[in-house]
Structure 1
Amino acid sequence: MRLRFLALAALLAANGPALVPGLTPTLAHAQQKLPLTLEDIWAKPTFRSASVPGFNWMNDGRYYSALDNGSLVQYEVTTGKAVQTLVTAAELELAGAALKVDGYSFNANEQKILFTTGTEPIYRRSARASYYVFDRGTKKLTPLSAGGKQGYATFSPDGQRVAFTRDNNVYVTDLATMQETAVTTNGLKNNIINGSADWVYEEEFGFAQGFFWSPDSKQIAFYTFDESQVPEYDMQEWGGLYPKEYRFKYPKAGEKNSVVLVSSYDVASARTTKMDVGPVADQYIPRVQWTRVPNTLSIQRLNRLQNKLEILHGDATTGKTKVVLTDTNPAYVEINDDLNYLEGGKQFLFTSEKDGYQHLYLHDMDGKPVRQLTKGNWEISAINGFDAKTGFVYYTSTEGSALQRHLYRVNLSGKGKERISENGPGTDVVNMSPDTKYFLNVHSAAGVPAVTSLREGGTGKLVKTLEDNAKLKQTLTQYDLGKLEFITFKTTEGVELNAWMIKPSNFDPAKKYPVLMHVYGGPSFGSSSTQTVLDNTGGGTALTNYLWHQMLAEKGYIVVSVENRGTSGRGSAFRKATYANLGKLETIDQGEGAKYLATLPYVDKSRIGIWGWSYGGYMTSLAMTKNADLFKMGIAVAPVTNWRYYDTVYTERYLKTPQENPGGYDDNSPVQFAQNMRGKFLLVHGTGDDNVHFQNSIAFVDALIKANKDYQTLYYPNRNHGISGGNTRLHLYRQMTNFVLQNL
């Protein structure tokens, strides 16, 4: 369950006039302030955050490329100046019509480019598109295939071929002849998938492309998902005289998963070899990648309860494999992309939380530990790069604060650890060049919109600011925004919790204010954070959600978010405290947050509300039932209301199967506590939600009716988990605003 781009993003504040250099606070306050409106937030580009689109590192670390007004331009890193136009907009025309480019990628020598157009999203990460091959030498633009839209088209490392998927099969095109060869032919909708992930792998293991070129371009490893025994979910698509059925494979907790195979295809001989992934069919293969040893494939194998991870090394010619490393945990093992095979083919890097925090370990190719490279009461959130010449590993971690993320490096000797990103508060999102000489850094802090800059890899020294969002900062000074404060408090159990609070800009400590709490509260997995309390502010929906909270503060509300147990950034014990009993401790902590707020002299304890989306909708539903005496009002958007309705991978990771742990599924289902509902409650869901099914809200509504409890519902036809498109967000937030104003 990952609505991280929306409800899980940190909703952080702007600090008012001081955001603009040279504009004194006195002058700023003297200016007429504008009121925040829903139209400005959701319908107009008033608060649009700028970024650097289409950024791509090139082979020579001195250059990067980016799309600019339909052309592909090469820039010099040290100056940030354009040095040449690689492909002009005019060259990207077919039959006199310009391609609307969605993305691009180079071959190995950067003389051929794959351009993507007409992309059609399928689920969260999956898509199909039309790909075109552009030859920089001949200036010729050629469709990759005439057989229909393709998926995940990828150059071979030697640049001579392109592999892609179509209709659940894998294909290879020879660029010299443009001859297309089918690697697989048995693909069938809702039955066999080759080269792409099934729904639950895509959603919960975080990938859609399921094929991988070997470093020598001789082989392609690919997944096969046999989902023939997976139960289907049936969604209605509304709009015509008769609704259409959309059926797809969705394994709910305790039900059958796909049987997953891994194979290797030899391009020259067209021979396919099945890899040995073990005798147990009911397991997961969450990652597959090539090592730096010729013909050696790395396969990660995870048991269904997800508390035992094994790394297998396999011979791609024979299919034989052996286990080289095993990582276990009493709760569950983290799956991420931190397994890195180092140049020379003798060692690999791997992260584990076996000491209670996610840290970095060095192993030889037989899996034997060489040394632990990082240690402390903080955790690594991502591996960003490795410099083979100096032996430095670059990574992002929470060492400075659980509320922040910064770039560090450490040597393979475990020495020389230092922070690379600038000292000070905030959060850094890093895109490092392949040679680690430079990195693209997106930095933001509470109250400061994102600044995108190019920096030196070894020192963090600024090379050039690419986007400072000065226009957005100037725009924000025109509004009287409340200040965001980070706070901590201890619960009655002695647990210290982090929170943020936005007060009205004209806050009067002598007055009593209503409070709206925002919650997500769910567990993280891998490098994906579920924190709402973070020292950053972003663009897109993160910023617009924050501004909606500011609008409510402008109308006289205090807005607060409390980070309960079960969330990321504070180590394994804090994150896994909720294992096998989702909802219990989280609800207690949110209740403790409400009780703490009620003790503040400026809070009206009779007017505390709560809202959340996805897992936050689940938390809101529990708060309004199990903590009915604390909350006057709640808004639950797209909530899970019974974990039996959610998917296998996510749910069983935290609860085991319903057959093994029925109480973990039922004891904290809001459906079981509908009779306790007392406050005003709004339930929102999209009928086309392929992730958290509309079925969840139907079940809760049915329970509320049986309990004779009042509620309001708002459903959005055919909208997915993000509930977006056209005027949808504007409409949704208008309804939510009115509900808050009328009931809190």
Structure 2
Amino acid sequence: MNFRFLGLALFLTTAAPAVLPGSAPAAFAQQKQNITLEDIWQKGTFSARSVPGFNWMKDGRYYSSLSQGNLVQNDVTTGQPVQTLVAGQELKLPGQSQPLAVDGYSFNADESKILFSTDTEPIYRRSSKSYFFVYDRGSKQLVPLSKTAGKQLYATFSPDGKRVAFVRDNNLFVVDLTTMQETAVTTNGAQNRIINGGTDWVYEEEFEFAQGFQWSPDSRQLAYYTFDETEVPEYNMQEWGPLYPKDYRYKYPKAGEKNSIVSISTYDVAAGRNTKMDVGPETDQYIPRIIWTQTPNLLSIRRMNRLQNKLEILHADARTGNTQVVLTDTDPAYVEVNDDLRYLAGGKEFLFSSEKDGYRHLYLYNMSGKLVRQLTKGNWEITSIDGFDEKKGVVYFTSTEASPLQRHLYRIDLKGKGKARLSEAGSGNDVVNMSADTRYFLNYHSEAGQPQVVSLRNGQDGKLVKVLEDNAKLRQKLTEYNLGKLEFINFKTADGVELNASVLKPAGFDASKKYPVLMYVYGGPGSQTVKDDAGGGIAFTNYLWHQLLAQNGYIIVSVDNRGTGARGAAFKKSTYANLGKLETIDQAASARYFATLPYVDKSRIGIWGWSFGGYMTALALTKNADVFKMGVSVAPVTNWRYYDSVYTERFLKTPQQNPQGYDDNSPVQFADQLKGKLLLVHGTGDDNVHFQNSVAFTEAMIKANKDYQTLYYPNRNHGIYGGNTRLHLYRQMTDFVLKNL
């Protein structure tokens, strides 16, 4: 359940604006404004700027971007264009008067050829299909990648730039760019049965990748996935609109049900030969990652058992399929998968991250899996590897060393020495986009309540080269509005659990008054809502909506309960096998803590959340009905038996092994305890958290004779957006909060 919060907005009647202290007489004073729904969702009043279309080029001094239909090369040190690489008017097919409407592109390794995509059509969260065209910069020739009808997926140049691999109709193909001859690597692909070169729904959602093939570094071979999802049960959604609604059926493995059988093969381009890799006799397992090593013909495969508490790194001979387990990482609860595995030049060592000492840290191993040394250590954790300087043996990584609420860039050498922070001193969060040669990095810095600053920095010492975007206009714009200050606090519950929280008080807060409190919750494993950042463009609207509520006299609180991230494995995995239990206890205990504060009206505490947060809201209003006056539950899981196998079993085991873990914390089981006012929201086209969840919960509330309000959105997915959808949704949510809290 990797839910991307897609933004918030609402409408409120503008209250009388305040006069700025020390300003001109009231009749002529500059007046503070209140935020409206239209500001956020229609006018773009608070749209943050970034550096659009940034793509590093092979020379780390330049990046490319699409600008008004042209492909432009920009100097990273100035942010200014230096030349047009491809003029839009050049992208015309023979006999066509209009150029292609390009929506994406990628270079081959020497940047002599470019793949352009058009008419891109999203499928699920990370997948899409397009028409691809190959452009030769030397001859200025533009040709379709394939002459066969149908859009392509994941078109990718080989490292030598001589071929392109892509997926169509669940089969993998290779095109020789010299002859434009197309060769089918597989031929057995079939809808809802066999997938070659791509992933099934649950891998895409929970293991966070969709392209299921990789070129070898020498361009001689392709490694690819095959998913046999024949036995996976289908889920059926109705698409509303025509006289007779259409069925949309796709394979969705719910907890405890059959998964796809996954295999890995290699394809020798010259020989036209497929070889299946030996991933063991067990078919009820996961292969969450493959990656080529820097040793010819050596493929790295990660294998996990179904419970995901054991991860193995296999090294496979791509020519024979023989494999050997070189490293095993286990955990009493679960092992998480990431992209931190890096094979070093020379083929002798690799980097890997693990939580085996209680925090996620970096380790260096030889190719036999023997530990060379632990590179990082401490009561903090790395969150990503951002770059690696092969020549100097230096790793660049982002970590929580300064605070669980912050992220900053550091470097360390392969001896575990010379660790240094490259991010500027101070608070906030840094997100890094580093050039391949590590000469420069783009730094996206933000702090709570402030839009991001995008800067170019030196990769060796982090020093500023140039600020590319400071969002100065938006910063000035924000000063014109009645905004409260977001504060971070740390407190202990009555049970002695120490928790981090953010508190947003209304502008002009008066400690002698009593204020209602609305708690915003997500609370899922490894997540965080309490961070010192603006959250980027979409999450920034979340902050603005909460400011809008604060303008109407509400205090907005968010608490990271047990099970959330950045505080080590013990804190995060304390909720294992009882998902929802400790999390809801902590949210209720937090509400009781805030109820003791002299400026809080303890009879007016509410809660709201989306996705996992919707689940938490529904559970809070049933299992802790005496604490919360109202709640808004958006797109919730209401019974983990209805959710997908990979995510759910990672944290709960299977329902066959742990039925109590599923039932003891399901809102459906406690509907008869509902007391507060509930607004339940769901999209009928939610392919992730099925509408079935809200149907089951409403049925339980009807049986218990409980009152509730529901709001459903036809054909909308988990994000519930499109057209006026968000405008409508948040108007309803706002009205509900104002009337019931």
TM over 0.5: yes
Aligned position for 1:729: 726
RMSD of equivalent CA atoms? 1.5
Q: d(CA) in 2 for partners of 1:307 and 1:461?
A: 41
Name the residue aligned to 1:18: none
Q: How far apart in 1 are the matches of 2:651 and 2:212?
A: 25
Query: 3-state SS of the aligned residue for 1:606?
Result: strand
Instruction: State the match for 1:247 in structure 2.
Output: 249
Identity between Structure 1 and Structure 2 (%): 74
- Give the aligned residue type for 1:522: G
Q: Match for 1:591 among 588, 592, 601?
A: 588
Once the two structures are superposed, the pairs formed by residues 617-632 of structure 1 within 5 Å of their partners are: 617-632=614-629
Corresponding residue SS for 1:97: coil
Q: 1:77 to 1:238 in 2, by over 3 A?
A: same
Instruction: Report the alpha carbon displacement of residue 6 of structure 1 after superposing the two structures with TM.
Output: 3.2
What amino acid does structure 2 have at the position aligned with 1:400? A
Matched position secondary structure for 2:90: coil
| Count of matched residue pairs | 725
Equivalent position to 1:287, from 282, 286, 289: 289
C-alpha distance in structure 2 between counterparts of 1:26 and 1:440, whole Å: 40
Superposition deviation, residue 719 in structure 1: 0.3
Deviation at 1:715, TM superposition (A): 0.2
CA distance in 2, matches of 1:128, 1:449: 33
Following superposition of structure 1 onto structure 2, how do residues 433-452 of structure 1 map, counting pairs within 5 Å?
433-452=435-454
| Residue in structure 1 matching 2:660, options 649, 659, 663 | 663
> Quick one: distance in 2 between partners of 1:718 and 1:146?
34
C-alpha distance in 2 between matches for 1:101 and 1:641: 42
Give how far 1:92 is off. 2.7
Distance 1:348 1:614, change over 3 A: same
Q: For the residues of structure 2 that align with 1:91 and 1:426, how far apart are their CA atoms?
A: 44
* Alignment match, 2:377: 375
Once residues 548 and 128 of structure 2 are traced to their aligned partners in structure 1, the CA distance between those partners, rounded to angstroms, is 36
Partner of 1:17: none
Report the equivalent of 2:146: 145
Q: Distance between the aligned counterparts of 2:21 and 2:501, measured in 1?
A: 27
Distance 1:514 1:164 in 2: 55
1:674 maps to what in 2?
A: 671
Report deviation, 1:325. 0.3
The aligned counterpart of 1:3 is 3
2-side partners of 1:639 and 1:78: how far apart?
46
- 1:37 CA displacement: 0.7
Paired residue for 1:517? 519
Contact persistence 2:449–2:543 (CA under 8 A): no
Partner of 2:124: 123
Per the alignment, residue 271 of structure 1 pairs with: 273
Distance 1:173 1:471 in 2: 48
What corresponds to 1:76 in structure 2? 75
Give the aligned partner of residue 702 of structure 1. 699
Q: Secondary structure at the match of 1:697?
A: helix
Deviations 1:630-650 (A, max 9, x none): 100000000000000000000
Matches within 5 A, 1:6-21: 6=6
| C-alpha contact (below 8 Å) 1:635/1:736 kept by paired residues | yes
CA distance in 1, matches of 2:597, 2:91: 62
Q: Which amino acid aligns with 2:173?
A: Y
Cα displacement string for residues 340-389 of structure 1 (whole angstroms, at most 9, x for unaligned residues): 00111111000000000000000001111000000000001000111011
* Distance in 2 between residues matched to 1:7 and 1:373, nearest whole Å: 38
* 1:328 matched residue in structure 2: 330
Residue 608 of structure 1: how far off its partner (Å): 0.4
Q: Is the contact between residue 50 and residue 539 of structure 1 (CA under 8 Å) also seen in structure 2? A: no
Which range moves more in the overlay, 129-138 or 717-726? 129-138
Shift in Å at residue 606 of structure 1? 0.3
User: 2:114 is matched with which residue?
Assistant: 113
- Asked if 1:610 is matched to 2:607, the reply is yes
Code of the aligned partner of 1:198: D
- Between 109-118 and 332-341, report the one with greater CA deviation: 109-118
Verify: 1:301 aligned to 2:303, yes or no: yes
Between the aligned partners of 2:346 and 2:484, the Cα distance in structure 1 is 54
Deviation at 1:471, TM superposition (A): 2.1
Given residue 686 of structure 1, which amino acid in structure 2 is its aligned partner?
G
- Tell me the distance in 1 between the aligned counterparts of 2:91 and 2:739: 54
Counterparts of 2:278 and 2:511 in 1: how far apart (Å)?
67
Listed as ranges, the matches of 1:393-432 within 5 Å are 393-432=395-434
- Could you tell me whether the CA contact under 8 Å between 1:43 and 1:727 is conserved in 2? no
Shift of 1:539: 3.5
SS at match of 1:245: strand
Bigger mean CA deviation after superposition, 513-522 or 26-35: 26-35
Per the alignment, residue 718 of structure 1 pairs with: 715
1:479 aligned residue = 481
In structure 2, distance between residues paired with 1:99 and 1:547 = 38
Q: Which stretch of the first structure deviates more once superposed, 74-83 or 176-185?
A: 74-83
CA distance in 2 between partners of 1:303 and 1:327 (Å): 11
User: Which range is displaced more, 427-436 or 539-548?
Assistant: 539-548
In 1, the alpha carbon distance for the partners of 2:252 and 2:164 equals 31
Give the partner amino acid of 1:90: Q
What's the counterpart of residue 579 of structure 2? 582
**What is the match of residue 20 of structure 1?**
none
Distance apart, 1:142 and its partner CA: 1.6
2:5–2:719 Cα contact (<8 Å) kept? no
1:125-174 CA distance string (max 9 Å, x none): 01101111111111122221232111010000000000000110001111
TM-score under structure 1 length normalisation: 0.96
Report what 2:102 is aligned to: 101
Shift of 1:316: 0.3
Q: Structure 1: where are the runs of 5+ without partners?
A: 9-23, 525-529
Aligned counterparts of 2:197 and 2:448: Cα–Cα separation in 1: 41
Q: Tell me by how many angstroms 1:224 deviates.
A: 0.1
Choose 65-74 or 186-195, whichever is displaced more.
65-74
Matched, 1:56 2:55: yes
For residues 26 and 125 of structure 1, what CA distance do their matches in structure 2 show? Answer: 52
Structure 2, unmatched stretches of 5+, are 9-19
Answer yes or no: is the 8 Å Cα contact 2:294–2:347 preserved in 1: yes
Q: CA deviation at 1:71?
A: 1.4
CA distance in 1: counterparts of 2:335 and 2:468, whole angstroms = 38
Segment of structure 1 superposing worse, 712-721 or 45-54: 45-54
Report SS of the residue matched to 1:4.
coil
Task: Give, in whole Å, the separation in 2 of the partners of 1:234 and 1:428.
Answer: 42
| 1:473-500 Cα distance to aligned partner (Å, 9 max, x none) | 1221221111101011101221110000
Which residue in 2 is equivalent to 1:35?
A: 34
Aligned residue for 1:272, secondary structure, equals: strand
Rounded Cα–Cα distance in structure 2 between residues aligned with 1:348 and 1:288: 14
Secondary structure in 2 aligned to 1:535?
A: coil
Correspondence for 1:527: none
For 1:588 and 1:611, the matched residues in 2 are separated by 16
Deviation at 1:238, TM superposition (A): 0.2
CA contact (8 A) 1:54 1:103 kept: no
**Separation in 1, partners of 2:582, 2:131:** 48
**Secondary structure of the corresponding residue to residue 98 of structure 1:** coil
TM-score, with normalisation over the residues of structure 2?
A: 0.96
Mapped to 1, the partners of 2:82 and 2:418 lie a distance apart of 36
Which whole-Å CA distance do the structure 2 matches of 1:425 and 1:4 have between them?
24
**What residue is the counterpart of 2:564 in the other structure?**
567
Distance 1:453 1:142 in 2: 38
Rounded Cα–Cα distance in structure 2 between residues aligned with 1:91 and 1:720: 38
Aligned mates of 1:559, 1:705 — CA distance in 2: 31
SS at match of 1:350: strand
Report the Cα distance in structure 1 between the residues aligned to 2:198 and 2:566, rounded to whole angstroms.
31
- Per-residue displacement from partner, 1:280-319 (whole Å, max 9, x unpaired)? 0000000001000000000000000000000000000000
Deviations 1:369-419 (A, max 9, x none): 000000000001000111011111000000000001100011000000010
Task: Decide whether aligned partners of structure 1 residues 35 and 98 sit closer, same or farther in structure 2, where only a CA change above 3 A counts.
Answer: farther
Deviations 1:4-39 (A, max 9, x none): 34379xxxxxxxxxxxxxxx9866995212221111
Kept in 2: contact 1:305–1:653 (CA 8 A): yes
